[in-house]
Chains A and B, each alone.
Chain A
Amino acid sequence: MSNITEQYVSVAKYCDEIYAEDSTVFDTYSFLCRIVHKDQTLVLEEVKRKLEILCKKIDVSKRVYDYYTSDGKPLSNAKPIVSQMEITLCFLLLDLTKSKKDVMYLNSACKLLDNSLGTGTKYPQAYYEIASKKLETLCNTLI
C-alpha cells in the first residue's frame, strides 16, 4: 500500500506542475491529488458533490476524463484518466465506502475496477488484486 501512496505523490507533483487551477474547468487529476494530500482548503460538501459527479461519470459513461467543463461534459480534447489515477480513484472510493458506509461509492468502485481490468491496462496487477480483495470484504460486510 505504501507503494501506491508514493505513486499518488509522484502523480500529484506532476499534476501540480502542469495543470493550472481554472474555475471553469474541472480538473480530475488535480482534484484527486488534493484529496490524496488531504488538502485543508477542500470543503467537505464540495468534495462530496464532485465525487458524486465522478461516480455518475463512471456509472453512465464508464469512463473518467481528465477535464470536464463546468456543466459536466468532457472537454473536447479531454482524455480518459491514466490507469494509475483510475486505481487511485478506486482505492479512494473503497475507503469512502468503509468510512461513510455508502454503497454508492462501492458500486462505482466495482464498475471502475471492471473497466480498468477490461481495458488491458499495464498498471501492476498487484494493485487490482488488493482492490478486489478490499471490495470483496466490503461487499460481505456492508451487504
Chain B
Amino acid sequence: MQYLDLTLFVDHRPGFSAIAYLETMKANGVLPKKIICLAFTRARRVQQLSYVFGQSIAHRIFDQYLKRQQKKMFKFLSEIEYDIQQSVGYHIQFLKKINLKEYTQTVETIYLDSYKDKNFLNYIQEEECKTFLYASSGIVPADLLNIHGIKIIHIHPGIVPEVKGSDGLFYSYLLKGKLGYSVFYMNSGIDTGDIILQKEWEFPKLYFRKYYNDTHLYKAILAFIDSYYRAQILLILLQKNTQNLEALSCIKQDMQEGKTYFTMHPKLRSCIVRRMVQI
C-alpha cells in the first residue's frame, strides 16, 4: 500500500463521497497519510435547542434526531442500493460502517465551531502535509483557503465553468445529457478554482425492480452515483499523479464564463429523476 502526501477532510460521520474516495483508493493500492475528522460542535439546530434546554441536553436531542433520520434514510437507501449497484456495476458498499483507521496512517478528530475556528486554523497551519482533499460539507471560508502554502482539492459534479454551484449532477444531465466532473484547487469563489482535471461520462442506464418516489431516487442518485463518479475521477487523477499533489498542472477558469446554479426545485428535480430512471 502506498501512502500519499494527502490529508482527507471528512465529516464526523463520513459522507458517501468520503466512503467512495477511501474505498476506491484502497482497492487501487493508494491511501492518504492522514484523515482529519471534522466534528462540528455547534450545528445551528443544536444552538437553537440550547436556548431552551441547555447545551448538554440539546446535544443529546440532536444526536437522537440524527440517528432517527439516518435510520430512516438507510432503510430506503439499502433497498435501492442493490439496483443501482447492479445497473452501474460497482462494488463499493456505501452503507457499511467504516473504521477510518483502516484507510490511513493517522486519524485526527477535531472539534470545531466552524471552519473559522481559530484552533482549527492554527492546527491546519502547522500541518506537515499541505495538500488536502475535501470530502466534507459546507462552504469553506477564505480564512482557511488563505493559509499560506495549503492547497485544497475539490471534486465537483459538473464541468466548470459551465456548471457551477449546487445539484451539479442534475444540471449537467439536463444541459448535456451526461455526467461531468471537475477536479480543481479550491479558491474563495463558488467552484471557481484552477482546473486540474475534467471528465464526462454517459449517464448509466438505471433499472429498478420496483417503484420508488422521486425524493428517494434523488437521494439515492446523489448518495451512490454521484459519489461513485467522484471517486472515479479521483482515481484517474491519482493514477497519473501520486507525487507532488500540491503542484499539479492546472488551468485558470474564465470567471466571466458559465453559470452558478442553485439547489434545484423539487418539481424540476422530479422531472429529471424520472427521465434518468427506467422502472
Contacts and interface: CB of A to CB of B under 8 A. Distances in A.
B272 A143 contact: yes
Interface in B257-279: 259-265, 267-268, 271-272, 275
B262 A60 contact: yes
Contacts of A114: 265
B165 to A, nearest CB: 9
Interface size class of A (residues with CB under 8 A): 10 to 19
Given A103-B171, A143-B275, A110 B259 contact: no
A110 B268 contact: yes
B262 A110 contact: no
Contacts of A52: 259
Interface in A64-82: none
B174 interface: yes
A107 B265 contact: yes
A107 B260 CA distance: 12
A107 B271 contact: no
Interface residues of B, number: 15
B139 to A, nearest CB: 12
Given A103-B171, A103-B174, A143-B275, A56 B268 contact: no
Contacts of A143: 174, 268, 271-272, 275
Q: Identify whether the interface residues of A are mostly helix, strand, loop, or mixed.
A: helix
B259 A104 contact: yes
B271 A103 contact: no
B265 A140 contact: no
A139 B271 contact: yes
B257 to A, nearest CB: 14
Given A104-B259, A139-B271, A143-B272, 10 more contacts: A56-B262, A59-B262, A59-B263, A103-B171, A107-B268, A110-B265, A114-B265, A135-B267, A143-B268, A143-B275
Interface of B: 171, 174-175, 259-265, 267-268, 271-272, 275
Interface of A: 52, 55-56, 59-60, 103-104, 106-108, 110-111, 114, 135, 139-140, 143
